[in-house]
Structure 1
Amino acid sequence: MAQKTHPTILRPKNNLYQGCTHWNEPKFYFILSNIHKLIKSCCFGTTHYLDKIQVNRHFGLILIEIDLIHFHFRSKRRLKSRRYKENQTSNKKQSWTVIACRLQRAAELIQKFTGTKKVTLRINRLKIYTRSVPKPARRQMAYFTKSFNHIKYDYARYGMQLMYLIIKNKASASTLSRFLKQNICSRQRRKRHYQFLAYIKQGFQALQEYKKIQGLKLQIKGRFTHKAKGRSKIWKYQIGQMPISQLNKTIQAKYTQTQTGYGSVGLKIWICY
């Protein structure tokens, strides 16, 4: 049997390398991958997710366009007392100020690393709240967002916001892969993975009637269960159609890997637009 290829290899796409003056093609992709890692590291430990990044170079100028998604754990209309505001710290760990300081430092490092005269960052930040999710879908997911389940399902609110953006074609597969990777890796207690996967399945089922994409497919394979002898398991979920064999369809695929207390786990995500 022949080995299966990546579904985006045979599809027509724009080549990022445009023949720069003193950058050959291997050096160009090496610099591009390091810029991706540096910008992605600026979002670690915050509620900001890196959705898309595009790097353009013209002579001595590098223009980096970044799409960020800012999730909110609490509602925007939540009333805060005067005492709460007085005791609140001025600079939160997950605030936009921290991200802006990191990105400014990253621009200086990119300028030194590439040796260019000027580096410009253009940031498009998308804010989303739980109230932006339709009310019928929120009612079906109300159990996970209750206050007494805040510690057990700490991913419930921003996970629902992310799934709504995926369904409405406003987020990419890389953002969803980071969310799955982060939560699968952190669920180390027994049977916590089953609760997380049930939450993902119920969330996409509740939002299925609002979808503007043709199809979505998730596959998680590896040792993320407590079965005897460490046997691996495959978990699959799909909504809509996923015509991987049709080359005229626009399909975005993301493959990644993470580690759990039981072993390695592979994540595969396909989104058909």
Structure 2
Amino acid sequence: MSDLVEELDATRWFREGKGARYRQLSRHITELIKSGSLAQEDQLPSERELADIAGISRVTVRKAIAELVDAGLIEQRQGAGSFVSEKGERFEQSLSSLVSFTENLQARGIRSSSEVLLRGVFRPTPTETTILGLTPVQRASRIHRLRSGDGVPMALEYSSVPDDILPNPDRVSVSLYEVLRSRGTAPTRALQRVMAINATDRVAELLKLPDGTAVLQIERTAYLATGRPIEFTSGYYRSDVYDFVSELRLD
């Protein structure tokens, strides 16, 4: 408990000009949870104790805890207090807007990173030839990446792009769409298919999940404004942290 008191002292997390105090406290507690300093089922100090430790008002504490509850990181139990939830933070990805993994996390203040598993220009597979409409002389630029948010593995993405659209896949470090935009070849629409599957041993290993865990498989084909298909991505997303959301309208 003494270590936690030290970690929650305002000198550890508050920086002038870096946002509201409740938001900074919320981010700091999030980091403590992700790093394991706060484990599942650990109890936070009471609202009054936390305010005294951090030297802030109880209103500020209340707002920070509310934000953590909304994110699914903290669970409040009537008459018992606030506990680290057994479930991690969940992220919503809209199925109706063409936003990359990197952009989605950046919008939430989360640092995205990628580990490149494979990258190069290859003879296309029959699937790539059919979906991307490649001619016999064309090649497919492939990028296979493990995508993480704040160091936590969240998704695997296997992307293929015609080599005339992306002649040098080595340029892609984090965001594929950022590179395509710089070339004036970013897609303007996409079709996505979402399926629930059990992770293979390899997928589970990379995403740090038990073998056979349910994951979300996303297949996306993206198009230029002309209608030409220029990206095919098959991705595997952790179902314990990702929700895919679509908006329906009455025409």
Q: What is the TM-score normalised by the length of structure 1?
A: 0.23
Report the structure number with the largest CA radius of gyration. Answer: 2
- TM-score, length-normalised on structure 2? 0.25
The structure richer in strand per residue is: 2
